[in-house]
Structure 1
Amino acid sequence: MPIITKESADQAIQDIRAIGFVDTDGSKLKAIAVHYNTDLQGADIDASTYTIHDYGMTLSKNDLTQGTNPGIITKVYLNDKPEIASCSKSHGSYVIIETNTDYQGSCFPRSYAITMAADVKQEKPLCLK
């Protein structure tokens, strides 16, 4: 059974894409698509498999007019395309990491380019079938 460890993830990851949108209070990161160089069929993934840091997470409670926990991971699943799906697939070379966008900030305008910048780190090994 092949394993992609935290250490070997740098070689296995081919591309990382930010998926975002513009809301009434500015742009928000909706998801991150992590593209691996192999099909991840059988990989046991969940929110604890990855850590992310995105611009939304830098907002404090005082910056928010509505909602809580900006930018935290809400859902992680496989897909065969770099896009958000209504249901997860059993295989694919993309891991989709969805983030919380149910908040509103009002203290300062946020640049789309800055908001779409995100850092992701694989924290646990991926064991593949």
Structure 2
Amino acid sequence: MGMRIKLYERDPALLRLIRIILERRGHDVEVFEEHYNCCTLSIDGGCTCPPGETCADAVIIDMSPPILEVIKKINIQKAKGCKLFEQKIAVLSSSFTDYQKEKIQDMGHTPIKKPFSLSKIEEWLLPDNAED
């Protein structure tokens, strides 16, 4: 059985391409053509996922908004009990600075520079692949 993957990508063509490839590999892909935002936080801000479970096994986030905005949203979710960030997270960008890459890696996530080979995403998804 494949992974449950949330994909946030503002480029419609890239969004479709990644989704099609991942679905052909047996993954269940939920796509969002928008800036990254958690769709499972309740109105009062708490995580609505069942206790001990997450809404996805992996998340791929396009870094269209400034990196600090993405990091801020992730930290808010963690503080509110979201367990999603104990899973695999990849952050995509065409223009990482060294500081941004380091910050993402310090959080335990994987920066992936655009353009990238789809094999890079597939390699990252492997169960025995440790976070970079």
TM-score range, shorter-chain basis?
A: under 0.3
For CA contacts below 8 A with separation 6 or more, give which structure has more relative contact order.
Answer: 1
TM-score calculated relative to the size of structure 2:
0.23
TM-score for the superposition, normalised by structure 1: 0.23
- The structure that is strand-richer by fraction is 1
